[in-house]
């Protein structure tokens, strides 16, 4: 009798907790990028943040959405991917605008490169996708070029998925590639920090939020019976996050001696 009397409280409370967890899954992934976004806007310097992080998340979440068409998973994970794609495009837009503004030369690079590559461009020339220059991949001077690249990848991947959607092996492989790509999220930042032997310009708050968010996400996967690929790659993400925090600690204890100022060409900038 007493248990029945508590049902009126426990059932709504359980529903509220479920909604809260779902909301955290949808929007929690973008929260770590808020302090990094604000730091870049405030300092007008995007050198400390690797835009390859955006590339990894865009690819991972596009593949995850395509995976959903072959094997439906929980809706919050689907909406999380949509929200994350929009967030990464915003990050790319800001980083591109800041980088182009700060570049001292007038060289411009495009996804669909101009005939006079890396030369001064006063009037945008006609471009062709056949002119794509892989040497400057993901280091273009216009946000529109990043959008073109994302749309091209989405179109090709979507077409292949449409043709192979009836293959269980293809669908499972697609899901594994999606979560494996996302598991490498922190690797570009880890590599950038290693090259420069410094975490200057990287938001520590962002990495701390990565760690807490990935830990929560992995626990959510395990408790809700998500596909095994999600749980395994979630654990890998947590390990990479901890490695980046280890870098921040080590570089803070043993800071690199300032080197004499040398003018570097734009192409030698950090990832």
- For residue 112, being part of any structural domain is answered with no
What pLDDT digit, counting tens, does each position of 204-245 carry? 888 898 888 888 878 877 887 777 777 888 888 899 999 999
What pLDDT digit, counting tens, does each position of 57-97 carry? 999 999 999 999 998 887 888 898 999 999 999 999 999 99
- For residue 49, being part of any structural domain is answered with yes
Question: Which of 70-79, 115-124, 195-204, 238-247 is predicted least confidently?
Answer: 115-124
Question: Residues 178-205: what's their mean pLDDT?
Answer: 86
Q: What is the pLDDT of residue 108?
A: 57
Given a contact cutoff of 8 angstroms between Cβ atoms, the answer to whether 247 and 48 are in contact is no
Q: Which residues span the domain enclosing 21? A: 12-105+137-253
Average model confidence (pLDDT) across the chain: 79
269 pLDDT band, cuts 50/70/90, is: very low
Question: Which of 4 and 221 is assigned the larger pLDDT?
Answer: 221
% of residues, the chain, pLDDT over 70: 77
Burial grade of 107 (CB within 10 A; 0-12, 13-18, 19 or more)? middle
- For residue 165, being part of any structural domain is answered with yes
**Rg, Å, the chain Cα set:** 21
Please tell me whether residue 105 adopts helix, strand or coil conformation.
coil
Q: What is the pLDDT of residue 233?
A: 81
Question: Residues 10-31: what's their mean pLDDT?
Answer: 74
Question: Which of 39 and 25 is assigned the larger pLDDT?
Answer: 39
Question: Which of 156 and 47 is assigned the larger pLDDT?
Answer: 156
- For residue 241, being part of any structural domain is answered with yes
- For residue 47, being part of any structural domain is answered with yes
Question: Residues 20-31: what's their mean pLDDT?
Answer: 78
- For residue 217, being part of any structural domain is answered with yes
247's torsion region: left (phi>0), alpha (psi -120 to 50) or beta?
A: alpha
Q: What is the pLDDT of residue 46?
A: 86
| Domain count of the fold of the chain | 1
- For residue 90, being part of any structural domain is answered with yes
Question: Which of 221 and 184 is assigned the larger pLDDT?
Answer: 184
- For residue 147, being part of any structural domain is answered with yes
């Amino acid at each position: 009798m007493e248990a029945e009397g508590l049902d009126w409280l426990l059932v709504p409370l359980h529903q509220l907790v479920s909604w809260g967890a779902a909301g955290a899954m949808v929007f929690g992934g973008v929260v770590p990028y808020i302090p990094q976004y604000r730091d870049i806007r405030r300092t007008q310097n995007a050198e400390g943040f690797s835009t390859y992080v955006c590339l990894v998340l865009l690819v991972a979440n596009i593949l995850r959405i395509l995976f959903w068409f072959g094997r439906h998973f929980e809706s919050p994970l689907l909406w999380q991917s949509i929200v994350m794609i929009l967030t990464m495009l915003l990050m790319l837009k800001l980083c591109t605008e800041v980088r182009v503004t700060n570049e001292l030369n007038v060289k411009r690079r495009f996804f669909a490169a101009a005939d006079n590559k890396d030369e001064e461009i006063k009037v945008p020339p006609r471009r062709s996708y056949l002119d794509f220059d892989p040497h400057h991949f993901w280091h273009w001077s216009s946000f529109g070029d990043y959008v073109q690249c994302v749309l091209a990848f989405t179109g090709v991947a979507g077409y292949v998925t449409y043709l192979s959607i009836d293959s269980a092996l293809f669908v499972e492989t697609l899901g594994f590639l999606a979560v494996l790509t996302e598991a490498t999220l922190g690797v570009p930042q880890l590599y950038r920090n290693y090259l420069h032997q410094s975490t200057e310009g990287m938001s520590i708050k962002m990495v701390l939020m990565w760690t807490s968010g990935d830990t929560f996400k992995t626990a959510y996967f395990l408790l809700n019976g998500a596909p095994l690929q999600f749980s395994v790659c979630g654990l890998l993400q947590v390990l990479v996050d901890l490695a980046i925090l280890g870098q921040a600690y080590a570089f803070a204890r043993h800071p690199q001696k300032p080197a004499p100022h040398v003018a570097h060409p734009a192409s030698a900038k950090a990832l």
